[in-house]
Chains A and B, each alone.
Chain A
Amino acid sequence: MDKNMKVLVVDDFSTMRRIVKNLLRDLGFTNIQEADDGSTAWPMLQGGDFDFVVTDWNMPGMQGIDLLKAIRADASLAHIPVLLVTAEAKKEQIVMAAQAGVNGYIVKPFTAATLKTKLDKIFERLG
């Protein structure tokens, strides 16, 4: 996995963005940008050649699931792996995310080890 890849962290809580950024930095990722919801993330993604998106689900503007669907529906972005990190824990939602093409699903509260395992798995699969 290329540690120089460009990562976008999307969460409406700045503290959660900070936690995720610190964990990613600890795993060696240095090129990290932030957005506070899907509608802020969307224009960044379109012009930003990002390689990976970590997003929350429940956000005030555009929600994470809608961001995921938008990414999958856009030919130039559809290849970007998306990891959902969310407190949403209904089975129905996990199925919905899987059907929308999510690459990983982490429920909050989560641990650094869980994040590492999921990242390894996602990039191992993508080759």
Chain B
Amino acid sequence: MNLDNGVHVSLEEAKQLVEYLESGQQDKADELIAKIQNPINSELFAEIGKLTRQLHDSLMNFQLDSRLTDLATADIPDAKERLNYVINRTEEAANKTMDAVESIFPVVDTIQSQIKTVKPLWKKLMSNDLDVNEFKELCKDIDVLLKTTENETKHMHGLMTDVLMAQDFQDLTGQVIRKVIDLVREVEDSLINMLTVFGISSDEAKEIAKPSVGENLVEGPIVNTEERDDVVTDQDDVDDLLSSLGF
């Protein structure tokens, strides 16, 4: 305090100050000093003091909020593991399904080609135009076809059950993803609280914010096409756009 700067303290004020200090009213004492020093700024000082205390308390609260610590150190790493599980399970299911389908393709091709072999003589039989030797040949071909079909349909049935069972990932990954959605919601709430403490309204922030886009504008699959007008919704849209460009 520099009393040479035209700041004068009265005896009354000094007594008051001592009284405040003796009774432990530090806030009031500080306020009085501020008032003596610069009567105009005292309100401003008080306000800054209040804000500083609020900020301090808020920061303390954040530190004390163990949930936030848990989120960062346990829940989020756990969510990453969960999402990796989803990638692995869906990849596994896709491969299991394709394994089965890829082994069905040649079976279907074999049956089709055997039907093709049988067909000319079968047609002749149907129009009563078959001699005995041809009939014997037809019987052999049909015998082969029946045996193949019998064995291979059994085989295909098994493969189709594999395809069916590979779809069990949907239930498991659905449960996992739902948990991660809950976590994201909780983190969102915490972040909104933090924004509120710092005086930023989340509605205000929403208007400015846009989903981040990588280099080359990459964004991955668009999940809310109906809410956006900068994206195509299907292949027809793509074709229309390209043809408008002279494609």
Check B217 against A93 for contact (C-beta < 8 Å). yes
Cβ contacts B214-243/A at 8 Å (1 or 0 each): 111111111001000011111100100110
Task: Give Cα A94–Cα B220 distance, bound, in whole angstroms.
Answer: 14
Q: How far is the CA of A30 from the CA of B220 in the complex (A)?
A: 30
| Complex: chain A residue closest to B228, CB-CB | A90
> CB-CB < 8 A to B230: which residues of A?
90-92
Shortest beta-carbon distance, A15 to chain B, in Å? 4
- The answer to whether A98 and B235 touch (CB under 8 A), given A87-B220, A87-B221, A91-B230, is no
Residue in chain A with minimal CB distance to B87: A13
The answer, among A58, A95, A105, A114, for a CB contact under 8 Å with B218, is: A58
- Contact status of A89 and B222, CB under 8 A, knowing A15-B95, A63-B216, A95-B241: yes
Which residues of A lie under 8 Å from residue B245 when comparing CB positions? 95, 98
Across the interface, do B218 and A63 meet the contact criterion of CB distance under 8 Å? yes
Cα of A94 to Cα of B235 in the assembled complex, Å: 11
A30 to chain B, nearest CB (A): 13
Known interface pairs A22-B98, A105-B238. Does A91 touch B232 (Cβ–Cβ under 8 Å)? Answer: yes
Q: Does B247 contact A (CB under 8 A)?
A: yes
Contact residues of A: prevailing secondary structure:
helix
Judge whether B43 is part of the interface by a CB distance below 8 angstroms: no
Question: Is A89 a contact of B102 with CB atoms below 8 Å?
Answer: no
Q: Which residue on A lies nearest to B245, using beta carbons?
A: A98
Nearest to A15 among chain B residues (CB) is B94
Tell me whether B189 is interfacial, beta carbon within 8 Å. Answer: no
| Chain A residues whose C-beta falls within 8 Å of the C-beta of B234 in the assembled complex | 107
Given contacts A15-B98, A89-B231, A110-B235, contact A94 B216 (CB under 8 A): no
Query: Are A57 and B102 touching (Cβ within 8 A)?
Result: no
Q: Which residues of A come within 8 Å of B, CB atoms?
A: 13-15, 18-19, 22, 26, 57-58, 63, 65-66, 87-96, 98, 105-108, 110, 114
Residues of B near any A CB (own CB < 8 A): 91, 94-95, 98, 101-102, 105, 214-222, 225, 230-235, 238, 241-242, 245, 247
A-B contact list, 20 entries, CB within 8 Å: A14-B91, A22-B98, A22-B101, A22-B105, A57-B218, A58-B220, A87-B222, A88-B217, A88-B219, A89-B221, A89-B232, A89-B233, A90-B219, A91-B231, A91-B232, A93-B217, A94-B241, A98-B247, A106-B238, A110-B235
